[in-house]
């Protein structure tokens, strides 16, 4: 080597040595970031490990520093020091508790360091709260204690679908919910949703089926696994009350069309009034003309009150029945006076002026010897013994007993004598006009029959 170059290298070495000795003998500031918190260290140390020691910390192999601990701090004014932390990992699968010293704050990495692999459905907790295994641990004063909850296999038979899920939930319901399996209140699940997940489990889900409940004013669409109508109605919050009923009945199975009708029944009570007819009695009234009536004492209707039970189904009346009745007011009898004065009057007829003392409206029919209403039968003789001909009329037996021989005048027929008995027409005053077969005329009409004078000694004041 040329002599002049060797002299140059020796000069440089002497200069550097002098600079280091000068640097070492001087105190300076280094910014040391400890566990993320910056602090200023006054130091004369040349290496990072010396700076850390001057800051009052003991450096362990598990700690993490940047730059390297042996790095000379010549030209470096900033360094990072992360102290290792003691972390306990409790493995609920094995029951073992493992203590780690590490600067890593990612839970998944900590589990891996403890020899635990995470699978879907596993759970990691810190102080009872679930942790995201890929988010750093939160800062805390006490050393962390991680708990690993291994997922339990749950075999889910959901109708015709079978699948396996894994969960570290405390109950079956939580496991299903976390896996996105929705259970409605009407679904059936076996075993119960509150069953603890202590080990592998098989669950069967029976899904509720649609059903319609028809009410008077609306239809309720729901779903159920109920077997009986009554069970369905209780589930739907529509129980039968009082006299309500359902179609089908509540003790019957659900119908094939899954349609159930609920009929609301109520009863009301009402008071109904009914008139009670009054009776009528008669007494002679010598001041009133024959066949006339005079009210002596007016009659009054009574009142009967009934308590009525009314049944309504969906607001519509279906029946009513009287349960009790009483007389609220007694009827007042009517007293009538019947006239007894036979007043002789006159009427102009084709036969001249005739005197009569009574005129009665009657229904007139006619007959002859061979028109007696009996097939193939003829009879000429009448009840009075006279031969049947025009001028002989028949009346009912009740009239005949006191009218026999009474002369009468009938417009359109003429003057006649009551001389025969006939059957009459119920509910009507009646006369049958006699003819011979040769001069027979058919009658079927109302006429006025005049009773001709003289007035007989015995008169029925009221016609039977």
86-139 pLDDT per residue, tens:
888 898 888 889 888 888 888 888 888 888 888 888 888 888 888 888 898 887
**Residue 42 CB-density burial (10 A; 0-12 exposed, 13-18 middle, 19+ buried):** exposed
The CATH number of 20-82 is: 3.10.20
| pLDDT more than 90, % of the chain | 54
Is there a contact between 74 and 46 (Cβ–Cβ < 8 Å)?
A: yes
Residue 179: how many CB atoms within 10 A of its CB?
A: 18
Q: What's the distance, CA 404 to chain centroid?
A: 80
Residue 360 has pLDDT above 90, yes or no: yes
Average pLDDT of the chain to the nearest whole number: 89
85-149 has which CATH code? 3.10.20.90
* pLDDT higher than 60, residue 11: no
| Mean pLDDT (whole number) for 17-28 | 54
- CA pair distance 408, 449, nearest whole angstrom: 7
The average pLDDT across 28-40 equals: 89
Q: What is the pLDDT of residue 139?
A: 78
Quote the radius of gyration of the chain (alpha carbons, Å): 63
- Checking if the pLDDT of 20 tops 50, the result is no
Res 141: pLDDT: 65
- For residue range 303-354, what is the model confidence (pLDDT) as tens digits? 999 999 999 999 999 999 988 899 999 999 999 988 889 999 999 999 999 9
Compute the average pLDDT of residues 159-174.
89
Residue 259 has pLDDT above 80, yes or no: yes
- Specify the 3-state DSSP secondary structure of 201: strand
Tell me what the mean pLDDT of segment 437-459 comes to: 95
Class of the 152-206 domain? alpha beta
In this structure, whether the domain defined by 268-339 belongs to CATH 2.40.110.10 is answered with no
- Sorted by where each begins, the domain ranges of the chain are 20-82, 85-149, 152-206, 223-263, 268-339, 343-452
Residue count of the chain: 464
Residue 99: CB atoms within 10 Å: 11
Pairing of strands 430-434, 345-349: unpaired
Is pLDDT above 90 for 243?
yes
Count of beta carbons in the 10 Å neighbourhood of residue 281: 11
Fold identical between 20-82 and 152-206?
A: yes
Rounded average pLDDT over 23-50: 85
Contact 229, 246 (CB under 8 A): yes
Work out the pLDDT band at 16, boundaries 50, 70, 90.
very low
| pLDDT reading at 15 higher than 70 | no
| CB-facing half-sphere around the CA of 310: CA atoms within 13 A | 12
| Collapsed DSSP state (helix, strand, coil) of residue 17 | helix
User: Any bridge partners for residue 393, and if so which?
Assistant: 418, 433
- Rounded mean pLDDT, 54-75: 87
Q: What does the alpha-carbon distance between residue 49 and residue 32 come to, in Å, rounded to a whole number? A: 11
pLDDT-derived band at 277 (thresholds 50, 70, 90) equals very high
C-alpha dist (Å) from residue 139 to 126, 143, 309 = 12, 10, 79
CATH architecture assignment, domain 343-452: Beta Barrel (2.40)
Please tell me the distance from the alpha carbon of residue 387 to that of residue 380, in angstroms, as a whole number.
6
End-to-end CA distance of the chain: 179
**Average pLDDT for 3-16:** 45
Give the pLDDT of residue 17.
Answer: 42
Measured in whole angstroms, the distance separating CA 360 from the mean position of its chain's CA atoms is 70
Please choose, from the candidates 130, 153, 126, the residue with its C-alpha nearest in 3D space to the C-alpha of residue 140. Answer: 126
Contacting residues for 257 by C-beta, under 8 A, at least 6 apart = none
Strands 145-149 and 123-126: antiparallel
């Amino acid at each position: 080597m040329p002599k002049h170059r060797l002299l140059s290298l020796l000069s440089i070495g002497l200069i550097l040595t002098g600079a280091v000795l000068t640097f070492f003998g001087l105190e300076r500031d280094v910014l040391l970031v400890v566990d993320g918190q910056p602090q200023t260290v006054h130091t004369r140390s040349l290496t990072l490990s010396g700076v850390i020691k001057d800051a009052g910390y003991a450096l362990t192999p598990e700690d993490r520093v940047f730059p390297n601990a042996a790095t000379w701090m010549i030209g470096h004014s900033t360094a990072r020091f992360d102290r290792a932390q003691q972390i306990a990992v409790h493995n609920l699968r094995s029951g073992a508790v493992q203590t780690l010293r590490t600067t890593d704050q990612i839970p998944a990495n900590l589990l891996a360091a403890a020899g635990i692999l995470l699978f879907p459905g596993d759970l990691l907790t810190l102080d009872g709260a679930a942790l995201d295994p890929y988010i750093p641990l939160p800062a805390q004063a006490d050393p962390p204690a991680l708990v690993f909850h291994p997922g339990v296999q749950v075999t889910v038979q959901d109708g015709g679908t079978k699948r396996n899920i894994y969960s570290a939930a405390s109950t079956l319901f939580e496991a299903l919910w976390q896996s996105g399996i929705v259970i409605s209140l009407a679904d059936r699940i076996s075993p119960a949703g509150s069953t603890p997940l202590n080990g592998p489990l098989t669950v069967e889900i029976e899904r509720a089926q649609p059903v319609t409940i028809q009410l008077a004013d609306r239809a309720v669409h729901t779903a159920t696994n109920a077997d009986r109508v009554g069970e369905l109605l209780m589930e739907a919050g529509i129980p039968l009350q009082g006299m309500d009923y359902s179609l089908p009945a509540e003790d019957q199975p659900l119908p094939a069309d899954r349609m159930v009708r609920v009929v609301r029944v109520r009863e009301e009570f009402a008071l109904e009034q009914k008139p009670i007819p009054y009776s009528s009695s008669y007494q002679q009234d010598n001041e009133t003309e024959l066949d006339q009536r005079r009210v002596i004492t007016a009659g009054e209707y009574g009142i009967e009150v009934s308590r009525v039970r009314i049944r309504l189904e969906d607001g519509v009346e279906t029946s009513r029945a009287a349960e009790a009745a009483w007389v609220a007011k007694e009827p007042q009898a009517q007293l009538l006076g019947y006239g007894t004065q036979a007043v002789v009057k006159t009427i102009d007829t084709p036969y001249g002026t005739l005197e009569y003392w009574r005129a009665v409206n009657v229904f007139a029919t006619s007959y002859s010897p061979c028109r007696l209403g009996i097939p193939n039968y003829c009879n000429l003789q009448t009840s009075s013994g006279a031969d049947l001909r025009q001028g002989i009329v028949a009346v009912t037996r009740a009239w005949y007993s006191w009218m026999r021989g009474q002369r009468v005048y009938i417009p359109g027929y003429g003057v006649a004598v009551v001389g025969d008995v006939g059957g009459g027409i119920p509910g009507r005053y009646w006369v049958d006009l006699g003819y011979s077969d040769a001069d027979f005329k058919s009658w079927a009409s109302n006429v006025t029959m005049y009773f001709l004078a003289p007035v007989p000694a015995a008169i029925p004041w009221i016609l039977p």
